[in-house]
Chain A
Amino acid sequence: MRVRRSAGERALHGGNVFVLVLVASTMLLPFLNLLAVSFSGNTAILRGEVSFWPVGFQTATYRYVLNSPQLLQSLANTLFITVAGTLLSVLLTGTLAYGLSKKYIMIRRPALLLVVFTMLFNPGMIPNYLVVRGMGLINSRWALIVPVLVDAFNLLIMKTFFQQVPLELEESALIDGADPMRIFFYIVVPLTMHGIATICLFYAVARWNTFFSGVLYLNRMSQYPLQVILREILVAGTTLEGGAGFSQDALNIPTEGVKAATILFATAPILIVYPFLQKYFVKGALLGAIKG
């Protein structure tokens, strides 16, 4: 925000910039507040003294949160879902989108219709549940991966990217005797890295944020993804279990502090990765939206 004070900017677009900064603040300040709370002492939080700077600085809250076996287990679950889910999703989305981008594939139009129709008509929660149950996926972490493998929107984004690869490149490789799979992985994929990075991010964020299907398909606490545990702590008001020798009350760990720390804990990966991927997803989202 250091550019905010630039005089020329203010003179020209003062009001506009002021409002924009106000809007952006509503999105940043909650996180500064959570950060301050997560490092503050119990008394200061209860007295409502903490705004954007820690009062009664301590790190016990984080030590408590980071030692909670419950949270660490759910983190491991979510990491598994995110990594395995994203890899499989990108693979299946990419391979299907590649075929859909080829005009000479005769089932192209019917297959596209098949995909687009699912964007317009959703059979609903119960029929989906029955299929997942029928596949024997209830109480399996795969239930959070397999039923959402290919997202129609991401598929269309990828298809648009593939359509922009010059056909001549593939044709010349074909004449040189490379088989189509080799062409796909060695020529087409490197050329469409922007698109792949985009859908990678979209899938990874969606899997990291997996919540509803965890509630729907899992019954064991030990399998819950991070977001389901988070809901227990943030919304249902359940106390986070500490590690061995840690008890929230005995150590005077602030409940609000634990909430703040867990929110930041679950958001940190997105906050860290996000700025680096921004240039990719902006382009990807545009392509998918405008041309798709």
Chain B
Amino acid sequence: MGRCPTAWSDNRLIRNVVQYRWIYLMMLPGIAYFLVFKYGPMYGLLIAFKDFQFTKGILGSPSVGFKHFLTMFHSSSFFNILRNTVLIQVYKLAFTFFAPVILSLMLNEVRHTRFKKVLQTIVYLPHFLSWVIVGGIFLTLLGPRGDLNAALALLGLPTPNWMMEPRYFRSIVVLSSLWKEAGWGTIIYLAAMSAIDPSLYEAATVDGTRKLQSIRYITLPSLVPVMIMLFILQIGHLLEAGFEQIFVLYNPMVYEVGDVFSTYIYRIGLQGMQFSYTTAIGIFESLIGFLLVLGSNRLTNRLSNGEFGLW
């Protein structure tokens, strides 16, 4: 590996590039893409420490040090979006994380292969729909004169305007996430299950183990590594509530409970032209996410003696 740029390693690298020039050439556009569109923005992070103006450019804009970060930590709206994002993500974790596990255990028990396939096809489907479509379906269902209220009216129950009530908003967000992604989430668990050695189950049957016990002692343990992996990744998204979902579902009546980092940065930063300030907020968001993944991976490694971490 060209870890230190000595003349020797340089030569080796050059020889390697020459020998496999076609493959290097093939990789070039992809690497250029990553450098420009994934690492180019890292340079733009500088504006968080400046008062950015388009006319002056990134380097030409006046430096202001940590001004924007100080403003951020003294702003009540910052703590509001922090609270909203964390709450929404924690609720999502609590209410949607185990759904695919349960759903895949149930699907795994369906013996009729064709029927199982049909069920799988149906539950994977919502994953492929855009948030606009999913949001549209939820808005139709929960609108003031939507299907839910029509049913409630028939029963003589109150018919609130669901989308306008702050107290229902987060539940709607969690519910729509559950509807969209629970089915798709089963794919990975079903794969882990199909990798279980069938002789384990056969041995269990001979031992007279009941169905639920074989799920408890054979199936579930085989899912644990996958669950831990997904959990670590989810933790990394603690401050990253998806923009599209919230943007489609929310409205000014529920900003107070529904505004999250991405929607706030979009409204205040891009529409309100506060580029530098919202970049500072973005750095906070990304950095915490990054540290959370590193931290939870490290913790997992320590607790499992290096068995379950991502790396």
Contact = CB atoms under 8 A, between A and B. Distances in A.
Tell whether A pairs with B.
Answer: yes
What 7 A-B pairs are tightest by C-beta distance, nearest first?
Answer: A96-B30, A124-B282, A127-B44, A127-B41, A234-B136, A209-B130, A99-B27
Interface of A: 1, 3-4, 6, 9, 12-13, 16-17, 19-21, 23-24, 26-28, 30, 33-34, 48, 92-93, 95-100, 102, 104-107, 109, 111, 114-115, 118, 120-131, 134-135, 146-147, 149-150, 155, 179-181, 184, 205, 208-209, 211-212, 215-216, 227, 230-231, 234-235, 256, 259-260, 263, 266-267, 270-271, 274-275, 278, 282, 285-286, 289-290
B133 A266 contact: yes
A118 B179 CA distance: 28
Interface stretch (B139-147, B202-210, B301-309): B139-147
Majority-rule SS of B interface residues: helix
Given A92-B30, A98-B23, A149-B37, A235 B248 contact: yes
B130 to A, nearest CB: 4
Interface in B4-61: 12-13, 16-17, 20, 22-24, 26-27, 29-31, 33-34, 36-45, 47, 58
Given A3-B115, A27-B126, A131-B41, 19 more contacts: A20-B103, A20-B110, A23-B103, A23-B123, A48-B145, A92-B33, A104-B20, A123-B45, A123-B286, A125-B269, A126-B47, A130-B58, A131-B40, A209-B132, A235-B132, A235-B136, A263-B136, A267-B129, A274-B125
26 contacts: A20-B106, A20-B119, A30-B137, A33-B147, A92-B30, A96-B27, A96-B31, A118-B38, A120-B236, A122-B240, A124-B283, A125-B266, A125-B269, A126-B265, A131-B41, A150-B30, A150-B34, A216-B270, A231-B132, A234-B135, A235-B248, A260-B140, A263-B136, A282-B187, A289-B188, A290-B195
B74 interface: no
B101 to A, nearest CB: 14
Contacts of B110: 9, 13, 16-17, 20
A292 to B, nearest CB: 11
Nearest to A129: B270
Contacts of B279: 124, 126-127
A16 B111 CA distance: 11
A149 to B, nearest CB: 5
B258 interface: no
